[in-house]
């Protein structure tokens, strides 16, 4: 299950997640970082280093943040995560 960066990242872009990602699947999407669902290997290395607790698996994205799933799908032009 690929990870999703939620809107909590907007304006933050700390990029510590990028530094620990072993496959470079986290990309700058303008106002926030986004995880490419195709490139993500589900290692979870990014989760504990996120200073704003913005990274979740798709099934664990908090209620109200579901728009982040759609935003990632749209950004990477993929039908599902």
Query: Tell me, what's the pLDDT at 77?
Result: 85
Provide the pLDDT for residue 21.
97
**Domain span including residue 61:** 3-75
Asked whether residue 16 is assigned to any structural domain, the reply reads yes
For residues 12 and 78, give the distance between their C-alpha atoms in angstroms, rounded to a whole number: 25
* pLDDT on residue 27: 95
Q: What is the per-residue burial (b if ≥16 Cβ within 10 Å, else e) of 43-73?
A: eebbbeebebebbbebeebeeebeebbebbb
| CATH code of the domain covering residue 9 | 3.30.70.20
Percent of the chain with pLDDT over 90: 86
Residue 26 lies in a domain: yes
- What is the three-class DSSP state of 12? coil
Residues of the chain with pLDDT under 50: none
* Any domain includes 80: no
The pLDDT value given to residue 16: 96
- What pLDDT does 47 receive? 98
Q: Is residue 60 part of a domain?
A: yes
Q: How far apart are CA 37 and CA 16, in angstroms?
A: 19
Q: Report yes or no on 12 lying in a domain.
A: yes
Q: What is the pTM of this model?
A: 0.91
Residue 81: inside a domain, yes or no? no
Report the domain count for the chain: 1
């Amino acid at each position: 299950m690929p990870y999703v960066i939620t809107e909590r990242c907007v304006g933050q872009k700390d990029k510590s997640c990028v530094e620990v990602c072993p496959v470079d699947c986290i990309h700058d999407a303008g106002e926030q970082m986004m995880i490419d669902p195709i490139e993500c290997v589900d290692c979870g290395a990014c989760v504990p280093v996120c200073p704003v607790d913005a990274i979740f698996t798709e099934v664990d994205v908090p209620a109200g943040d579901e728009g982040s799933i759609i935003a990632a799908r749209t950004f990477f032009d993929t039908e599902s995560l």
